[in-house]
Structure 1
């Protein structure tokens, strides 16, 4: 059985003084939601997501061997500069330092180098789209590229599995942003290769109905998240409905396995919308409790339901832990849905803003 210890390298066969890499990694949208976690970023239930194509983080990592005369204690052991959109970003540094502390045992070279991390998003900052998934995935890909220089024998399979494993330690859902267009994270008994340790590409047939699936993200509220993901996950620990919710996630993932094979978009809609509303129900019934939707979120949901009932166009919604709405639909109805969005939904978006996206394939070396 695969364990985290399998990602601890024994020795490195090469040395490298300096260099740089650049990777882009996309955001992703969960269809079956991960909500609640155990120690070490282990999910309380499995999840499955569509990898996005246009909403991504681009991160350049420059590295050079450290001056060994500088005591490690001066920098808490790690030496790095962090730039966001070309400018120093001090308030991001504690999160990166915590990430480095978590992954050091798996990348023992981290204290040997000074790093310059230069990162930006292709979507507006503070647009209410989770950038931690794409950001941590992009950083993990860069670190793995350096490890491959130090150990050229690393296989592609190991490279991507370990990148996903490391990304998970920065942000749980980041492990689903490394490779594949449909990604499963978390152990599911009838999904071969599924594991709590990293995301895996969906291993079975996916019907052509789900190829190039579209995701138009309606920016209802671009403010800072009302509740951090960490706090939200923690609220599941003593939640009165937690165990039933975890069981439901397994059941819904089972349903999606069959749906992806048979192409039944009607059943897909039922599972995906139910999952979105369940996530929000968990927050509304936790202690303390939160309502993460805004009035305009509900207006959009009701408008989508009305449009679908009247036109039979297979469009649906999903939500992250916030107010923004992801509108999902097959590529063959793209024109009709975009017209509907422009005619009826744009008015519910902050400053009329929305982002058109679609299924992508994961991280890319630039």
Structure 2
């Protein structure tokens, strides 16, 4: 290992998106290796709006492995972090930085400690797959820093050992996580079904119903479902294999009607499995149910789906509109029923704000002037639920992880090796 032993810090920074499953992963056949009981299919979200940014640094002066998440130091002793670190270190290759006069041999990586700083630009542990973005970013950044020469399928297998759904965030666009059959998990990897440009018409609106940490973690919930739910057993063996094939075809042919039908049905069945678990798990709340009713009424009135809904292990609604026009109408409906509590519309609708302009919504006065949705006239009282939604995020299908070369985007100081 060349260079002044106490003076250098070598870093890499990357950004990875989160993903939302349209055919759900729920239940493991192997807890240690995180091997699922069924295949799943997801869409990767635009990293500009929902992503994790991670900086990994190494230095001979670091005395131990350390990690900071959203500015707070957390323990790296957990098996999932250690599995990812071990697998990347095992594949690390020699690295040379001529500017800094640093040369690290393959065998040196085992002796070097890492400092990791990670930041999510969306709520953590609230059912928006923050762990998927986080572990995908950790593995991707470690691999770049340590010059790992593995294909993305192999990296997805390592990310899976941190958080199951993280394997899908190694790719952009539409992604399938194959459950695999091998006991060692070698064939349980992510496969990209289509690039993000394949179906660029789709617009995604997320209603953040609650950014609080959920009461039942996904890990605990899955374990209890596997142990007690007969519906989960039937779902994994009988329902999902057919659904995954149909979803792959819907994506390939950009058939939104089929895509929406499958997405909504699978979300509903996933939450039915949660209710079939003993004790039952309640991830959705009254606001979640109101949003489902809003979408179902609208889709039925049009005769063909305009929007698909899906809910992960939390109350937040992920709504996928078939195009920009449907997205603007969706946003109008959402803001009619769930207006902001204060006058600040710009902090209530985040992400791609251009949809607000297209919906003709520049101010709170515009929101207050919205007419009732036509499918609801004289049928349901026009009750408003201000305060039930924390905020909305408008986004789209996005790309996979990217290395950030601008040192100003690094989360760790190149001088101290500590978070900025």
Structure-2-length-normalised TM-score = 0.71
Asked if residue 274 in structure 1 is aligned to residue 274 in structure 2, the reply is no
Q: 1:178-233, CA deviations, whole angstroms, 9 ceiling, x for partnerless residues? A: 112101101489xxxx9843211016x9996x324222111112221121111122
1:37 matched residue in structure 2:
28
Report if aligned partners of 2:123, 2:211 keep a CA contact under 8 Å in 1. Answer: no
Structure with more of its chain in helix, by fraction: 1
Q: What is the distance in 1 between the residues matched to 2:117 and 2:253? A: 43
1:245 matched residue in structure 2:
235
Report if aligned partners of 2:127, 2:316 keep a CA contact under 8 Å in 1. Answer: yes
Q: What is the distance in 2 between the residues matched to 1:195 and 1:46? A: 15
Which residues of structure 2 form unaligned runs of 5+?
Answer: 93-108, 340-384, 405-420
Of 195, 206, 210, 1:221 maps to: 210
The SS at the match of 1:236 is helix
Larger radius of gyration: 2
2:288 matched residue in structure 1:
297
1:8 matched residue in structure 2:
none
Residues 15, 361 of structure 1: CA spacing in aligned structure 2 closer, same or farther, 3 A cutoff?
farther
Residues 349, 26 of structure 1: CA spacing in aligned structure 2 closer, same or farther, 3 A cutoff?
farther
Asked if residue 260 in structure 1 is aligned to residue 251 in structure 2, the reply is yes
Report if aligned partners of 2:169, 2:400 keep a CA contact under 8 Å in 1. Answer: yes
Shift of 1:48: 0.5
2:65 matched residue in structure 1:
80
Report if aligned partners of 2:27, 2:225 keep a CA contact under 8 Å in 1. Answer: yes
Report if aligned partners of 1:46, 1:185 keep a CA contact under 8 Å in 2. Answer: yes
Report if aligned partners of 1:299, 1:348 keep a CA contact under 8 Å in 2. Answer: no
Which residues of structure 1 form unaligned runs of 5+?
Answer: 1-13, 71-78
1:235 matched residue in structure 2:
224
Q: What is the distance in 1 between the residues matched to 2:394 and 2:387? A: 14
Q: What is the distance in 2 between the residues matched to 1:147 and 1:115? A: 11
Residues 237, 21 of structure 1: CA spacing in aligned structure 2 closer, same or farther, 3 A cutoff?
same
Q: What is the distance in 2 between the residues matched to 1:284 and 1:309? A: 26
1:5 matched residue in structure 2:
none
RMSD: 2.8
Of 45, 55, 66, 1:52 maps to: 45
User: Higher mean Cα deviation, 259-268 or 355-364?
Assistant: 259-268
Asked if residue 320 in structure 1 is aligned to residue 320 in structure 2, the reply is no
Shift of 1:271: 0.6
Q: What is the distance in 2 between the residues matched to 1:251 and 1:118? A: 41
The SS at the match of 1:291 is coil
Asked if residue 167 in structure 1 is aligned to residue 159 in structure 2, the reply is yes
Q: What is the distance in 1 between the residues matched to 2:52 and 2:118? A: 7
1:6 matched residue in structure 2:
none
Shift of 1:252: 0.5
Of 96, 102, 107, 2:89 maps to: 107
* 1:6-17 correspondence to structure 2 within 5 Å: none
Residues 269, 188 of structure 1: CA spacing in aligned structure 2 closer, same or farther, 3 A cutoff?
farther
Report if aligned partners of 1:220, 1:348 keep a CA contact under 8 Å in 2. Answer: no
Report if aligned partners of 2:15, 2:52 keep a CA contact under 8 Å in 1. Answer: yes
Shift of 1:143: 1.2
1:11 matched residue in structure 2:
none
The SS at the match of 2:18 is strand
Q: 1:150-180, CA deviations, whole angstroms, 9 ceiling, x for partnerless residues? A: x6xx2xxx24223211111110000000112
The SS at the match of 1:235 is helix
Shift of 1:351: 5.2
Q: 1:22-69, CA deviations, whole angstroms, 9 ceiling, x for partnerless residues? A: 0101110001001111221111100010000120000111111367xx
Structure-1-length-normalised TM-score = 0.81
Q: What is the distance in 1 between the residues matched to 2:157 and 2:2? A: 24
1:353 matched residue in structure 2:
391
The SS at the match of 2:283 is coil
* 1:199-218 correspondence to structure 2 within 5 Å: 199-202=190-193, 210-218=199-207
Asked if residue 186 in structure 1 is aligned to residue 181 in structure 2, the reply is no
Report if aligned partners of 1:207, 1:263 keep a CA contact under 8 Å in 2. Answer: no
Moved >6 Å (runs of 4+): 14-17
Shift of 1:264: 2.2
